[in-house]
Amino acid sequence: MSEEHRIPGTPASGGHAFGAVHVYRRMRFNQAPVTIDPAEADAEIGRFRSACTDAMHELGRIAELAGSGGGDIITTHIEILRDPELRAGVESRIRSQHLAADSAVWGTFEQYLALMRGSGNPVFRERMVDLEDVRDRLLFRIRYDASQAVRLEGQILVADDCTPTELVEWARQGLKGLVLQGGGRTSHASIIARSLGIPKLVAASNALAGCTDGVPAIVDAETGWFVVNPSEATRTAYRERMAGYEAERARRLAIAGEPARTACGEPIVIRGNIEFEDELPAVRLHGAEGIGLLRTESFFLTPEGEGPDAQIRFYEAAVHACDPHPVTIRLFDVGGDKVLDNRVPEANPFLGWRGVRILLDRPELLRTQLHAIHTVAARHPGRLRIMIPMVADPGEVEAVRREWEAVAAGTGVRVPIGIMVETPAAAIEAAEYARISDFFSLGTNDLTQYTLAVDRGNPRLASRYPLAPTAVMRLVDMTVEAATAAGIEVAVCGELAADPESAAWLVGLGVRELSMAPASVPAVKEHLRRHTLADLQAAARNRF
């Protein structure tokens, strides 16, 4: 494999990266066992035990969320984690065979799985799936012990797929570029890669087979190539391109702070979309005026959980990072692709139990979040707004508003509450929703997938998920019209807003607030400043 070869992929976060490959096979962890110095046994056992505790805590929270729907599976998983024989097996492998915690977990589970495989009993086969799931959960936890994590400084990670948490963790370890065989442009991991400025390719089929650990490679997330073992001529050409790209990036950052407006002076508000605390500095750096979409699902991915303290800390940090601009907090939108690695399986997660549906079935989650938001709002008057995700029925908004009224009455603070328009149902009935919403924010990522019936994360369907299909633009138009008639604000916070051409159409259709991955802000501002409102309106009308 010493010859240069190129693997095509779809750019999901722009830029170039040059580095050594690190192959990551999450679900195939059967590498040679890693041994440790016997003196490290206690520390390794500690890692294993804390992974068990974290996993049980996480499962407890999922069981609470799943209610009667998936509780049995989770109880089984918790029982496996508690099993004294299995735990003793792992610990004795660490102590007497001097294995690292992850290798000991792998070896112990493999011993049970081998027995089950050999038995031919179908009941055992089902139990194997549970065992594998618990094993992978533990391995995930052990691997993300930050003190032990692999350093990815300057490396290019090649994987099948990744979750948002993994990406944030890798970014902390210095990851330079990412190539995935699966994934999609609007998956959360892609959105975060753009925010953190990590060049990323998705849908790069056969990338894993095409490289090995340590080989040099280039991620070209501008034209969509993963170049493995680049020749000297290719390296020279890319060095020039990268220098040009960096110069362009620096130029854009230098003008990032300029006001957002059209050539004729029409002001446009441009805000950032944020999910993790690590992304907060990107808001100011890229000249965004606050946060138009603060995703809050990450609480379900961290051991601290979704309790009020962690939430209040995060919302406070967001308010400080955006001072003096506002922050729009979206209520938990768990489900779909939002919590990839620990959902109770559903046949159609994007059409399943997610967003406001979960919040209404689990009112304690909703109340905790509303309380946390109001606590921070009381300290920072006028700086927060609330947004309800995945609305498809006006009754859902009314039900959330009842809880919101109760919290507002109890705290004496009133935080404006609006909805995400991200289902065709909400767009079609926008006039109805405008009566019960303080504002709208169009979530075009989901609106596109639901309008076209195309899974936004399916790499096979990437070409069937265009940026601004006419059907979606019509729904946007209808929503803007209803909002304007009702006198409420309408923003767009889907990734459509991050594409300069599409942002221009949106402004032409009457949208005056756009929210996007912060890294996209300067290019959108620059594009809008080149056109008059009349040009943009004419261009938008030409779309229909």
**293 contacts ligand PEP (rule: CB under 6 A):** yes
**In this chain, which residue has its C-beta nearest to Mg ion?**
446
Q: Count CB atoms within 10 A of the CB of residue 459.
A: 21
Choose the binding region for ligand PEP from 28-36, 58-66, 177-185, 443-451 (rule: CB under 6 A): 443-451
Contact 200, 13 (CB under 8 A): yes
443 binds ligand PEP (CB under 6 A): yes
Nearest C-alpha neighbor of 489 from the set 423, 430, 532, 533: 430
Query: In which element (H, E) is residue 386 found?
Result: strand 384-388
Contact positions with Mg ion (CB under 5 A) in 386-425: 422
Report how far Cα 300 is from the mean position of its chain's Cα atoms: 12
Q: Which stretch binds ligand PEP (CB under 6 A): 70-78, 170-178, 302-310, 439-447?
A: 439-447
Instruction: Tokens for 147, please give them.
Output: 């003190």
Q: Give least dist CB 295 to ligand PEP, A.
A: 5
Closer to ligand PEP by CB, 230 or 418: give it. 418
Burial of 216 (0-12, 13-18, 19+ CB in 10 A): middle
Q: Which is nearer to ligand PEP, 91 or 495 (CB)?
A: 495
Q: Rounded to the nearest whole angstrom, what is the least distance from the CB of residue 264 to Mg ion in the complex?
A: 33
512: closest CA among 520, 504, 523?
504
Q: x/- string (CB under 6 A) for ligand PEP, residues 398-437?
A: ------------------------x---------------
Residue 446 found at the interface with Mg ion (CB under 5 A): yes
> Smallest distance, Å, CB 390 to ligand PEP?
8
Residue 499, binding choice from Mg ion, ligand PEP, none, Cβ under 5 to 8 Å by partner class: none
- Check if the beta carbon of residue 482 is closer than 8 Å to that of residue 463: no
190 vs 169: CA distance, rounded Å: 14
Q: Considering beta carbons, is residue 211 or 334 the nearer one to Mg ion?
A: 334
Find the binder of ligand PEP among 199, 494, 508, 522 (CB under 6 A). Answer: 494
Closest approach of Cβ 341 to ligand PEP, in Å?
Answer: 17
**Pair 327, 296: CB distance under 8 Å:** no
Q: For 306-335, b where at least 16 C-beta lie within 10 A, e where not — what string? A: beeebbbebbeebbebbeebbbbbbbbbbb
Report, in Å, the least distance between residue 357 CB and Mg ion.
13
**Which among 98, 374, 493, 531 is annotated as catalytic?**
493
In this chain, which of 446, 455, 489, 513 binds ligand PEP, going by CB under 6 A?
446
Nearer to ligand PEP, 86 or 492 (CB): 492
- C-beta neighbour count of 141 within 10 angstroms: 22
HSE of 320 in the Cβ direction (CA atoms, 13 Å)? 7
Q: Minimum distance from CB of 422 to Mg ion (Å)?
A: 5
Q: For every residue of 467-526, which 3-state class applies, written as one string?
A: CCCHHHHHHHHHHHHHHHHHCCEEEECCHHHHCHHHHHHHHHCCCCEEEECHHHHHHHHH
Query: Do 239 and 20 meet the contact criterion of CB atoms below 8 Å apart?
Result: no
Q: Is residue 295 a contact residue for ligand PEP (CB under 6 A)?
A: yes
Strand partners, 515: 271
When CB distances are held under 5 to 8 angstroms depending on the partner's kind, the choice from ligand PEP, Mg ion, none that residue 494 binds is: ligand PEP
Residue 495 interacts with Mg ion (CB under 5 A): yes or no? no
Cβ proximity to ligand PEP: between 108 and 445 the closer is 445
Contact 110, 95 (CB under 8 A): no
443 binds Mg ion (CB under 5 A): yes
The residue count for binding Mg ion (CB under 5 A) is 3
Nearer to ligand PEP by C-beta: 54 or 297?
Answer: 297
CA distances from 349 to 66, 129, 137, 340 (A): 13, 20, 20, 10
Nearest to 177 by CA among 204, 158, 149, 150: 158
Region 317-346 residues binding ligand PEP, contact defined as CB under 6 A: 333
Q: Which is nearer to ligand PEP, 396 or 446 (CB)?
A: 446
Residue among 422 and 477 whose Cβ is closer to Mg ion: 422
Stretch that binds Mg ion, among 217-225, 269-277, 292-300, 445-453 (CB under 5 A): 445-453
Separation CA 463–CA 326 (nearest Å):
36
The contacts of residue 425 (CB under 8 Å, 6+ apart) are 392, 393
We find the least distance from the C-beta atom of residue 443 to Mg ion, in angstroms, to be: 4
As measured in angstroms, the least distance from the Cβ of 317 to ligand PEP is: 19
Active-site annotation holds for 162: no
Q: Which residues, 6+ apart, have CB-to-CB distance to 467 below 8 Å?
A: 496, 499, 502
Whichever of 108 and 186 has its CB closer to Mg ion, that residue is: 186
Per CB under 5 A, the segment of 60-68, 246-254, 441-449, 504-512 that binds Mg ion is 441-449
CA 421 to CA 446: how far, in whole Å? 9
From 98, 188, 286, 374, the catalytic residue: 188
Active-site positions? 188, 493
Contact footprint for ligand PEP (CB under 6 A): 293, 295, 333, 422, 443-446, 493-494
